[in-house]
Amino acid sequence: MQNIAVELANITKAFGENTVLRGIDLELHAGQVTVLMGANGAGKSTLVKVLCGVHSANGGTIKLYGQAFSPTTPSEAIRAGVVTVHQSINDGVIPDLDVASNLMLDHLARPGSGFFLNKKKNFAEARKIAAAMALDVDVTQLVSELGLADRQLVAIARAMAHEPKLLILDEPTSSLSAVEAKRLFVLLDRLRASGVAILYISHRMSDIRRIADRIVSMRDGKISGVFEDAPLDYEGAVKAMLGHSMTNANIQIPQAGVTVMQLKNIVLREGAVPFSLDLHANEVVAITGLVGSGKTDLADILFGLSNPCAGEMILKGEAYAPRSQGKAIEAGVFLCPKDRASNAVIPDFDITKNITVPFVAQHSKFSFINFRSERKAAQRTISDLGIICQSDADDIASLSGGNQQKVMVGRWLAEDSDLLVLDEPFQGVDIKARRDIGEKIRNTALGRATAVMVSEMDEALEIADRIIVMNDQTVVGDHRNENIDLKLVLTQVVGQQNKTTGSTEYAN
């Protein structure tokens, strides 16, 4: 039997009358990757926060290599060797500090590290950590100036610097390109071989197939299944997570309506190949491609966040060049951005205000806000998307990550639009929540054009009437989601075939 790194016995946790963990019994083994799956509200995040010292358990015991372990703060857990990379990137980095300070922060905070900062030494040590992670960034640069993927890699590199006994990763590849994800997996292979226990929270099948030694499913605050016999039973794990089998999505492609948005000879960046694209009423178009393919750049120009280098946009027969997001919204173009923590969630607002904030005018009369109208819109969104909360007045921060994502998508579904653009709306949500969000998007698509930017091919296949493939800042494929040639689509996604095997590789 493998060495038990962490042993949890009958762990319980409640917040008031809400019992979240209901007697968790779980062993995590050294030198093994355990993938944890669970629907929103299953208790995954609470379990992680108990392990990393954010919350204290109400009952039960935890042992770390046979010794009692009950951290009361994250720093105490880190000192014991339990290190966590949270799903929210801003929980793992400090944007206003440079990369070196972020990588060395925990070391500098230790007693005896000295009062004065030796910047030269600090930068040198930070470069060693970055090199070990194959992190190609300037360590003197502010983290706030980095892209989302690089910020995620800095957070992961900071965790690795602690030489953890237990490493907890919460959806670590959600912001990473295929190349960056492969780099992470190679590093995890090395950690696993050195005897580190790894708890990996993900619902991405490409991740799970690549990295999992075993799968643990959670449902309603309990462990509902443990799968460790090869080959791993992915379908069984999903069934244990949901309590029932997941039915396949059944796409009924509607009759395309009028052309809502025409893109003519658009150039996203200098040197990119121009492309043209029409988006029609009634249809849901999935725009897929690897990180950096141009999906988010396209979303940004549609919503007035940036301008194309060349080309023109025509909205409902008229020239369209919004000077701001406000002008885009006035024109009937909405965008649900990716990275909800930085670009979407307003932490100081409750659920109602987070849903209605872009549309205050629709809930006002003579400059007075109609709070009843706001709450009615919020309650409708909560019901339609199955958002798990106590009431519409709950703080947005009290929701799980998946339910926060539902709020963000629900914000832009709460009002009618001519073109709805959703950039990675399934980022960081479980399979059930993904289906809930996808079903709501499709059920409300009549009369508008809908463009959904996705990185995972199964997400595109589940939601789209048409799949557009982007690569190198241009459109390289346009496919009706019916008897689709998946091999051709994936070849277009990566841009080339594997020269050794002749097959197409695709991840994230």
Distance of CA 17 to the CA centre of its chain: 30
Question: Which three-class secondary structure state does DSSP give residue 288?
Answer: strand
pLDDT at 284: 96
CATH T-level fold of 259-494:
Rossmann fold (3.40.50)
Asked, colleague to colleague, whether 4-242 and 259-494 share their fold, the answer is: yes
Element spanning 35, H or E? strand 33-38
Of the candidates 312, 304, 311, the residue with the CA atom closest to the CA atom of residue 333: 304
* Amino acid at the residue 198: I
pLDDT at 498: 37
Eight-state DSSP code of residue 140: T
φ, ψ of residue 88 to 5 degrees: the values are -75, 115
- Profile the chain (508 residues) by mean pLDDT over runs of 10 residues: 86 87 94 89 88 93 94 89 77 79 70 57 82 78 79 80 86 74 84 92 83 92 92 85 65 91 95 95 92 88 94 96 92 86 75 85 76 87 86 85 85 91 84 83 94 86 93 93 85 59 34
Cα separation of 472 and 154, whole Å?
25
pLDDT at 293: 86
119: CB partners within 8 A, 6+ apart: none
Structure tokens at 490: 């994936």
Domain boundaries, the chain: 4-242, 259-494
Eight-state DSSP code of residue 293: S
Place of tokens 């309990």: 222
Helix%, strand%, coil% for the chain, nearest 5: 35, 25, 40
φ, ψ of residue 472 to 5 degrees: the values are 55, 45
What's this model's pTM, rounded to 2 decimal places?
0.62
Place of tokens 């059920």: 443
Cα separation of 99 and 126, whole Å?
8
Cα separation of 251 and 442, whole Å?
9
The answer to whether residues 197 and 33 touch, using CB atoms and an 8 Å cutoff, is no
Q: Which CATH superfamily does the domain covering 4-242 fall into?
A: P-loop containing nucleotide triphosphate hydrolases (3.40.50.300)
Of the candidates 207, 199, 218, 232, the residue with the CA atom closest to the CA atom of residue 30: 199
Rg (CA), the chain: 23
